[in-house]
Amino acid sequence: MLDIGVVGAGIRGRMFTRALGQLQDVRVVGVVDPTPAGAALAAEFGAAAYEGHEDLLSEHDLTGVVVATPDFAHRDAAVAVARAGIGLLVEKPLATDVGQAREIEAAVDAGGGPAMVAFENRWNPRFVAVRQQISEGAVGDVLFQCAHLNDTRFVPERMLSWAARTTPAWFLMPHTVDLALWLSGRTPRSVFATGLRRELARDGIDTYDGVHALVTFDDGTTLALQSHWVLPESYPSVFDFRYELVGSRAAVRVDGSDEGVHFAGPSLQWLHHTTVERDGRLVGVAAEIARDFACLLRGEPVSVPTVAEGVAVTAVVAAVHESVTSGRVVSL
């Protein structure tokens, strides 16, 4: 039996708990979250509730821990878990600071346990299908990439209590940067970016409205990024996610937000089905991540995003912020 702890009982922590809980050899034994959501989640799964990760680690002999705290608050729990040699699943981004990301990486190296970062697009079947084409050579050399991932104002204004403590770039670009690095296999060399700080700040959320960035790779190709938080709430999806790649043999365009189910009810919505509930059970991406984390904990061979990849993504997004602030091209 794999005994699992969960740190962070927000949307993502809850989703991982549920997906792990439906595996036959997994038992969620403890949940860490000082808010009432923590106790509720623990109760739902018959697990113990804790206010800090230290108690979780001291009271259980855990096989793995999920760290799904706010973006900027992964380090302490992740380092403690990793150093103890316990299996680690960290929600993306690994950290919002390159130093902290490296601390986690060092702890994983020191502890020797397995670890992965939940860059969920690696399991998203549309990108799995694209990756297969790339692997088979059907795309040729990657020449241009473009990735937009934006949210409606709902996310900074009502979904996240901690929006002002992060930025749309930290919240969203880890997804797109990881995706671009994974699909193209290239190494980023420099970043130029611009940011606008106006609308959300005016509404009392002191962060960027959004960021535009250009990442240049070692082979001279470029990735254009856009992430903002000011999409109107009438947009039919809470997120707007598009990825494009032009290769020497093929061009690929992926829509990750319009999943082909258009629902015109009180408002128009594009229903999502990348993860769905069928017969009371989660099916899709969340279930696959949980399955692979369990495989990792059991020592079975499985392909997952590594902590080193998490460090690389954090480095790019940190450079984006540095470029916005300095107005200059930042080398990596």
What residues from 202 to 231 belong to the interface with its own copies (CB under 8 A)? 209-210, 212, 214, 216, 220-222, 224, 226, 228, 230-231
CB of 41 to its own copies, least distance (A): 22
Residue 52 corresponds to which tokens in the numbers above? 């800090």
CB of 97 to its own copies, least distance (A): 25
Q: Phi first, then psi: what are they for 225, rounded to 5°?
A: -120, 145
198-204 own/partner pairs: CB under 8 Å, 24+ apart: 199/230, 200/153, 200/156, 200/157, 200/163, 200/229, 200/230, 203/157
- Is there a contact between 42 and 31 (Cβ–Cβ < 8 Å)? yes
CB of 164 to its own copies, least distance (A): 18
Residue 305 corresponds to which tokens in the numbers above? 């995003």
Residue 123 corresponds to which tokens in the numbers above? 């399991």
Binding residue for its own copies (CB under 8 A) from 62, 81, 254, 312? 254
d(CA 242, CA 146): 8
b/e for 30-69, b at 16 or more Cβ within 10 A? bbbbeeebbbebbeebebbbbeebeebbeebebbbbbbbb
Binding residue for its own copies (CB under 8 A) from 126, 157, 182, 308? 126
Asked if 266 interacts with its own copies (CB under 8 A), we say yes
- Is there a contact between 152 and 95 (Cβ–Cβ < 8 Å)? no
Q: Give just the sign of the alpha carbon dihedral 181, 224, 121, 143.
A: negative
Query: Which is closer to its own copies, CB of 47 or CB of 317?
Result: 317
Binding residue for its own copies (CB under 8 A) from 46, 158, 198, 218? 198
Binding residue for its own copies (CB under 8 A) from 199, 201, 306, 308? 199
Binding residue for its own copies (CB under 8 A) from 128, 187, 206, 322? 128
The angle formed by the CA atoms of residues 180, 182 and 187, to the nearest 5 degrees, is 75
Entry field: residues in the chain: 332
Q: How many CB atoms lie within 10 A of CB 15?
A: 22
Asked if 14 interacts with its own copies (CB under 8 A), we say no
CB of 281 to its own copies, least distance (A): 10
Binding residue for its own copies (CB under 8 A) from 112, 251, 322, 325? 251
Restricting to residues 139-158, which ones interact with its own copies according to CB under 8 A? 139, 141, 143-144, 146, 148, 150
Asked if 272 interacts with its own copies (CB under 8 A), we say yes
Binding residue for its own copies (CB under 8 A) from 61, 204, 234, 299? 234
Query: Which is closer to its own copies, CB of 58 or CB of 264?
Result: 264
Residue 223 β-bridge partners:
145, 215
Binding residue for its own copies (CB under 8 A) from 258, 298, 308, 332? 258
CB of 193 to its own copies, least distance (A): 8
